[in-house]
């Protein structure tokens, strides 16, 4: 009697593991940067080429860093959400224009709306590498002390905004 249950037990264990496997997204790689200081950089701005932007300038506020590019189709998908977030003034959003042509990037923002307070211009993608960017868009939540608290790989969705980003931003602002 006991013996007949062994294959069943093995089967159940397998099903459980495979089931868990199905719910995981292999594209999502846990970032080692979470809980660490946002890597420093100094980049010229997309619009005002004589001005630079560095994360140190943003100490003391909670902000989003959104990596985007005009050539990135998925960016367009999440863009209305970013525009809406900016319109509601919930959190300052800064852009990192990743490996883009300056003119193309600016035209893209003009066409689809500009949710960014400003965008840093990362032509060679060097800053992207420092931030472990491997798929655009990516969105980082950075706290008042300049620590990366969360990272979204791929397009943000309404669920991500409501379930994760908004509560986290609220918590960080109160903290």
Partner 1 sequence: MVKELLLSLLLVISIPFAQAGEAAPTSDDLVLEKKVMAVSENLRCLVCQNQTIADSNAELAVDLRNQVREKLKAGQSEEDILKYMVARYGDFVLFKPQMKSSTWLLWFGPLIMLLGGVWILIVNLRQRRKLQLQAHVLSAEEHERAEILLSDTIKKSDVPENTAQKNIAQKNTKEQS
Burial track 105-118 (b if 16+ CB lie within 10 A, e otherwise): bbebbeeeebbbeb
Binding to partner 1 (CB under 8 A) within 64-83 occurs at none
Instruction: Check residue 45 and report its DSSP letter.
Output: B
Among 10, 12, 129, 158, interactor with partner 1 by CB under 8 A: 129
29 makes contact with partner 1 (CB under 8 A)? yes
Counting contacts by CB under 8 A, is residue 135 touching partner 1? yes
Report CA dihedral (39, 62, 141, 32) to the nearest 10 degrees: 40
Closest separation in Å from C-beta 39 to partner 1: 8
Interaction between residue 32 and partner 1 (CB under 8 A): yes
For position 2 contacting partner 1 by CB under 8 A, the verdict is: no
Would you give the binding string for partner 1 spanning residues 93-112, x where CB under 8 A is met? ------x-------------
Q: Which of 4, 26, 73, 89 binds partner 1 (CB under 8 A)?
A: 26
CB closer to partner 1, 113 vs 135: 135
Q: Which of 129, 83, 138, 86 is nearest to 108 (CA)?
A: 83
Q: Are 140 and 93 in contact (CB under 8 A)?
A: no
φ, ψ (nearest 5 deg) of residue 14:
-60, -45
Closest CA to 69 of 46, 100, 114: 100
- Measured from the CB of residue 68, what is the shortest distance to partner 1 in angstroms? 16
Site for partner 1 contains 54 (CB under 8 A): no
């Amino acid at each position: 009697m006991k013996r007949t249950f062994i294959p069943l037990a093995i089967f159940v264990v397998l099903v459980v593991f495979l089931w868990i496997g199905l719910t995981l997204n292999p594209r999502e790689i846990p970032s080692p940067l979470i809980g660490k200081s946002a890597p420093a950089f100094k980049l010229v701005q997309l619009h005002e080429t004589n001005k630079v932007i560095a994360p140190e300038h943003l100490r003391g506020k909670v902000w989003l860093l959104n990596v985007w590019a005009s050539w990135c189709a998925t960016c367009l998908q999440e863009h209305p959400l970013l525009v809406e977030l900016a319109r509601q003034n919930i959190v300052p959003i800064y852009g990192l224009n990743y490996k883009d042509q300056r003119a193309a990037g600016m035209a893209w923002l003009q066409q689809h709306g500009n949710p960014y307070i400003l965008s840093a211009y990362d032509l060679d993608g060097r800053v992207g590498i420092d931030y472990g960017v491997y798929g655009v868009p990516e969105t980082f939540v950075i706290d008042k002390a300049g620590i990366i608290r969360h990272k979204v790989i791929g397009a943000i969705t309404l669920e991500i905004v409501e379930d994760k980003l908004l509560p986290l931003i609220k918590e960080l602002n109160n903290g």
